[in-house]
Amino acid sequence: MTRAIHHRACHLCEAICGLLIETDGEQILSIKGDPDDPLSRGHICPKAVALQDIHEDPDRLRGPVRRIRGVNGAADQWRDIGWDEALDTTARQLVAIAQRDGVNAIGIYMGNPTVHNYGMMTHQKNLFRHFRTDNRFSATSVDQLPHHLVAMWLFGHKSLFPIPDIDRCDYFLMLGANPIASNGSIWTVPDVRRRIKDLKRRGGKLVVVDPRRTETAQLASEHLFITPGSDALFLLALLQTLFAEDLVDPGALSGFVSGLDTVAVAIADFTPEFAAPHTGIDAETTRRLARELAAAGAGICYGRMGVSTQAYGTLCQWALQLLNIATGNLDQPGGSLFTLPAVDQVSGISPGGFGRHHSRVRGLPEFDRELPAAAMAEEITTPGEGQIRALFVGAGNPVLSTPNGRQLDAALEQLEFMACLDPYLNETTRQADIILPPTSPLEHDHYDLGFHINAIRNTARHSEAVFPKPEGALHDWEIFAELGNRVAELLGQAPQPTLPPHEIIDLGLQMGPYSARQGSPHALSLAELRQHPSGIDLGPLQPQLPQRLQTRDQTINCATPQPLADLQRLRDEFAEPGDGLLRLIGRRHVRSNNSWMHNYRRLVKGKDRCTLLMHPRDMQSRDIADGVEVTLSSRAGAVKVTVEASEDMMPGVVSLPHGYGHDRPGIRMQTAVRHAGVSCNDVTDELALDVLSGNAAVNGVPVTVSPA
């Protein structure tokens, strides 16, 4: 056996930390942070060490399987099959159903891990080019869809996200985000704990606004509770204060920003006094925060899951960006800046589109050719032209990760055919006819195509495979390529030539902003990156506007028609007092990322984390004792869960983590089953949406809690 050190990126969250993996033949000896990585600087979180668990997991499928449906109440059985049978069957079924019922009879759902694996991103088109269905869905509409919409409307491209420059800022106002647990989200920021401490050490201030005193809030200079779902009122009250007190100063942005005067008139009635009884934040505090943000030398307003996955998620993200623009903090060091990644997706992919078609049952709008995931079940169960009869799922577990998972679970049973590209027999794939498992993450190379565009610093890094691909195995990109070729043959078309992902990345590097072609001294190519396995530092984020804007006139029009029209919905809802019900929010843990982190022993060890956090005052008023089982109910359903008293919760708010519920029959995930928990998405409501975007409103769900 030969010992070796492999440079690798951890792909398990957005922080993309650099790793050093020591092996002895086929055995992993250690996984440590890479101190020479210019982005993560040696930092890792517990998830990185779990890469060994993933690679060695006995539950991970090593080859394709086919479901043999049980009869007369007998359980389904799974049979190992060869790749030719698996791929031929999948291609044949998809083509037959599309030819019989039309292409919209094919549904597609792509899960969150897709963007963590560049082969999934580069090659899914090899298959899906044959099925240009209106019934495409993804995790985007249960997550960051409002970010994409606002980026498209204001900056001209769905992926132009302003990134908080925490390393140089003086004042940071953060809403609905917990980067200590997430390592950043739409913000690739490894070692954020040290960055927050550095901010405070140099005299800066971090203000966290959240219904829970999160791990990040505990590090903050100031924490404010806010009623879930009221964030748009708070953000608009901040903006209204800037206008009312003549504190608006776009600074260097002035020459290419328009519409602020229109916004000022439109939000004049969203005063701090109007917001206060609904948000729980008094008017004077709101005014003070607005003045502090305006006075800061370099300030940031940033909001993530808590403000995106709610009834006014798009309004929130629009108001956030207007606050950064109105205070002159957009495109400024220490404010929010745009990245310039080595493989620049902004110049290479569609800028996005919205509302070009709508869902068949509820008329929900598409974004980027995808419909809201909350509509998937009804599009399967409702008869008529365009009803989904076959479903392809890539790296997703929507039964646990989309609203009203029980409804979707039941709907999947009605499908004529379902294929899943996934390494596990989980809560969703157990309904499949064919499961197509790819290689282990450590058996293929890696480039962070999805997250360099969100990074705190411009860097580039390519990781070689740690272990060779096993004989008879296929990478995910090869599965897509093989399926695409088989479908083409059935349709009488010639197969398309397929470049492997690393060659596509090499072309992107050699055409990108740091290439020899662009006159960059870095002269980036894949060969150059291979000479620097820890990665190459391309420097801090820099001002790039107006050149980086993708709008037709290279200006930012703040008076976006859609959010302006949505203001009336906000007025109408908050014209009346609340209903007095508890509000449910989610929460994140550093050892977890959605439903795909619960079968790894290193990540689930310790006390039970799937508990319902509840303020002691709310428990006392309902005669509920700490540690007992309670029933959590909503319009959509109910679950029984252990309650945990927490002074860190805002009274009137309860919190349940996302991604659990591994107690459904027929799954093969031994560790997850032993830590099953309950699925919060058995309680979230598929009818609760951000009406403007169609994004699921899984935060702020009205619920009741009672003794079980």
- Identify the pLDDT of residue 260: 98
pLDDT tens digits, 242-272 = 999 999 999 999 999 999 999 999 999 999 9
Domains belonging to the chain, first-starting first, are: 65-143+353-441+479-490 (3.40.50.740), 574-707 (2.40.40.20)
Lowest mean pLDDT among 104-113, 146-155, 534-543, 600-609: 600-609
Closest CA to 652 of 580, 598, 572: 580
Q: Quick one: pLDDT at residue 445?
A: 97
What confidence category does residue 410 fall into, taking pLDDT thresholds of 50, 70 and 90?
very high
Least confident of 222-231, 359-368, 554-563, 583-592: 583-592
Average pLDDT of the segment spanning 219-227: 98
Residues 318-333 pLDDT 10s:
999 999 999 999 999 9
Radius of gyration from C-alpha coordinates of the chain: 25
Percent share of the chain, pLDDT over 90: 95
- Prediction pTM value: 0.97
Reported as a pLDDT band with limits 50, 70 and 90, residue 627 is very high
Least-confidence region, from 62-66, 73-77, 293-297, 446-450: 73-77
CA atoms within 13 A of residue 19's CA, in its CB half-sphere = 30
pLDDT digits (tens, 9 = 90+) for 488-523: 999 999 998 899 999 999 999 999 999 999 999 999
Q: What is the mean pLDDT of residues 442-453?
A: 96
Mean pLDDT of 19-48: 96
pLDDT band at 345 (very low <50, low <70, confident <90, very high): confident
- Is residue 223 within 8 Å of 624, Cβ to Cβ? no
81 token code pair: 């099959």
> What is the rounded average pLDDT of the residues 207-220?
98
For residue 561, cis peptide bond before it (omega within 30 degrees of 0): no
Spatial CA neighbour of 638 closest among 667, 614, 605, 612: 612
**Burial of 313 by CB count in 10 Å (0-12 exposed, 13-18 middle, 19+ buried)?**
buried
pLDDT, position 663: 94
Residue 73: both structure tokens together? 């109440």
Sign of the dihedral through C-alpha 487, 493, 495, 497:
negative
472-485: b or e for each residue (b if 16 or more CB lie within 10 Å)? ebbbbbbbbbbbbb
pLDDT (0 to 100) of residue 349: 86
pLDDT digits (tens, 9 = 90+) for 174-194: 999 999 999 999 999 999 999
Whole-number Å distance between alpha carbons of 405 and 411: 10
* pLDDT of res. 81: 98
Which residues are paired to 613 by β-bridges? 644, 655
End-to-end CA distance of the chain: 57
Residue linked to tokens 């698996």 = 86
Looking at the predicted structure, is the pLDDT value of residue 236 above 60?
yes
Residue 1 binned pLDDT confidence (cut-offs 50, 70, 90): low
